[in-house]
Amino acid sequence: MKKEIKTKMIDGVLYDESGDPIFTEEMKKDYTLLVPMMLPIHFNLIKKLILNYGFKAEFLDYSGLEVAQTGLKYVHNDTCYPATLVIGEMMQAVLSGKYDTHKIALVITQSGGGCRASNYLNLIKKALKKADLRYIPVLSLNFAGLKTQPGFKFTLPQLYGLLKCLIYGDLLMLLKNQCKPYEKNNGDTEKLINYWIEKLSEEFKDKKNLKYSHVKKNMRLIVRDFNKLELTNVAKPKVGIVGEIFVKYSPLGNNNLEEFLMSEGAEVYVPGILDFLLYFLSNNVYDTKLYGVRKKTAFISKIAYKFLLKKEKDIIIAVKSESKFAPPTLFSETEKMRKGYISEGMKMGEGWLLTAEMIELISRGINNIVCTQPFGCLPNHIAGKGMIKQIREKNPQANIIAIDYDASASKVNQENRIKLMLENAKQNLNQTT
């Protein structure tokens, strides 16, 4: 028998029994969802898609020290840096006067893992309460059984549509980073990315175009278009970016690290978000293997893992068959590379994935690596900075630097340390060319 949820109305707002405002199905048509930006290409595609699902959404794209300072007004300074930034962005938005605060909801994605990220939901609610805005609903997109809202649910076909945005996003990000440092005509790469974002966004309006056969066709067309760009053949050092998911991907979180590396004459490689999803599914299987728990979850995760791995394989096939670009490594191969370095039981934060990604980069000749870490994020300091010595012992060519990101960290100091790593990278490149 389904448990009846107790609700009460206060000042025209419906609250549940725990005192949280309820986001109802009827609110979808009038409310604007505010979402912190993390992966610009991926999230711009998702924004276009969810309009077709009946939602209105804006992805917040604030920058500068003010975001962190706003976050620190509402979050304890011992909270991890990504939480400070995410909450800072959200509070800047709701306090900006740009929005009717009675017609907005805040959205975050959560993995539900064993780190402070699982507490973001409560931290945001606490910040809103402090600002006398507790009536603003906070919505969580997660697959870990964390609290959901009746008006913020997706069907399986809709989730499949979101997955396709991630597939397109990973492919476009991969191609962008291999083209932009070498383009003969400045701006060609960004123009092509914007062209495909608009083209795909238009296609989202027709459900037939969401069929996977059409997605595979588009992947080949995308790769062909990028393969036609006029590029130089100047040798440049290749630099991989790994680390905690937010500071790895978010320009706000890592002080525009990708752009900085390119401006210093490097080619950048960033592992795709599909790898993180596959890591999440792998951990569900490992939980059963190591602890004998969550057997049903492990069974479903195995099926989802095979399904998702096939999609990553399709990206690899498209890149290999239509271009000269380097494809990503299949995640199942990356997963094997952690052996001999770190246990599969190390799964807090980015856990063993962080170590495995560094080994994978080195295996493909990308020996220069920036390991991005929120200051005070213990799991990622263990699996990131803590593993560098062991990685170097087995791979003496590795040129790895760990960079801490925090509200009090100096951008100049960060960039100077990265420049030293790049100087070593350029010297090593000159010796091999």
Arithmetic mean of pLDDT, 219-230? 98
Asked, for residue 172, whether it belongs to a domain, the answer is no
- Of the listed ranges 2-11, 27-36, 171-180, 186-195, the least confidently predicted one is 2-11
Spatial CB neighbours of 374, under 8 Å, sequence gap ≥ 6: 80, 81, 82, 244, 246, 247, 253, 380, 404, 405, 406
Q: What would the pLDDT profile of 333-376 be if each residue is shown by its tens digit?
A: 999 999 999 999 998 889 999 999 999 999 999 999 999 999 87
Please, which residues have CB within 8 angstroms of residue 206's CB and are 6 or more apart in sequence?
none
| Residue closest to 88 by CA, chosen among 52, 43, 123, 116 | 123
Please list the alpha-helical segments (H only) found in 186-253.
188-203, 212-227, 245-249
Given this model, what pLDDT does residue 6 score? Answer: 77
How confident is the model over 191-203, as a mean pLDDT? 96
Could you tell me which residue, 379 or 403, shows the higher pLDDT?
403
Q: For position 332, what pLDDT does the model report?
A: 97
- Does residue 21 sit in the same domain as residue 116? yes
- 381 lies in which domain range? 235-272+328-432
Residue ending a domain, choose from 94, 122, 152: 152
Residues 227 and 243: beta-carbon distance below 8 Å: no
422 is a domain residue: yes
Are 142 and 240 members of one domain? no
pLDDT at 304: 95
In a domain? residue 18:
yes
Structural domain includes residue 52? no
pLDDT of residue 1: 42
Q: Is 385 inside a domain boundary?
A: yes
Chain segment 28-61, per-residue pLDDT in tens: 989 999 999 999 999 999 998 998 898 999 999 8
Q: What percent of the chain has pLDDT over 90?
A: 73
Whether residues 254 and 109 share a domain: the answer is no
Residue 193 confidence (pLDDT): 97
- For the chain, the domain total comes to 2
* Same domain, yes or no: 243 and 359: yes
Could you tell me the CATH number of the domain that includes residue 335? 3.40.50
* Domain boundary pick from 152, 177, 200: 152
**Contacts of residue 221, Cβ cutoff 8 Å, sequence gap at least 6:** none
Nearest 10 degrees: Cα torsion 325, 39, 211, 153:
160
Q: What is the pLDDT of residue 2?
A: 47
Identity at 386, one-letter amino acid code: G
pLDDT tens digit string along 275-298? 999 999 999 999 999 999 889 999
Q: Are residues 246 and 349 in the same domain?
A: yes
| pLDDT band per the 50, 70, 90 thresholds, residue 17 | confident
CA-to-CA distance for 318 and 72, rounded, in angstroms?
A: 45
What pLDDT digit, counting tens, does each position of 78-119 carry?
Answer: 788 888 999 999 999 999 999 999 999 999 887 666 666 667
- For residue 410, is pLDDT > 60? yes
To which H or E segment does residue 368 belong? strand 368-374
Q: Indicate whether 23 belongs to any domain.
A: yes
- Residues 239, 344: one domain? yes
One domain, residues 249 and 359: yes
Structure tokens at 399: 């040129």
pLDDT for the residue 353: 96
Q: What is the residue-averaged pLDDT of the chain?
A: 91
Domain boundary among 152, 176, 207: 152
Asked whether 44 and 59 are in contact (CB, 8 A), the reply is yes
Whether 240 is covered by a domain: the verdict is yes
Residue 211, pLDDT above cutoff 90: no
Q: Are strands 399-405 and 368-374 parallel, antiparallel or unpaired?
A: parallel
Asked if the structure places residue 336 within a domain, the reply is: yes
Same domain? 240 vs 388: yes
Mean pLDDT on 162-191: 97
Check whether residue 263 and residue 402 sit in a common domain: yes
φ, ψ for residue 140, nearest 5 deg? -120, 125
Distances (CA, A) of 298 to 26, 79, 109, 282, 392: 35, 31, 21, 8, 34
The confidence score (pLDDT) of residue 433 equals 64
Can you give the pLDDT at residue 114? 65
**Sheet of 32-36, strand order:** 56-60, 32-36, 104-110, 138-142
- Quick one: 334 and 243 in the same domain? yes
Query: Which residue in the block uniquely carries the two structure tokens 């909270």?
Result: 79
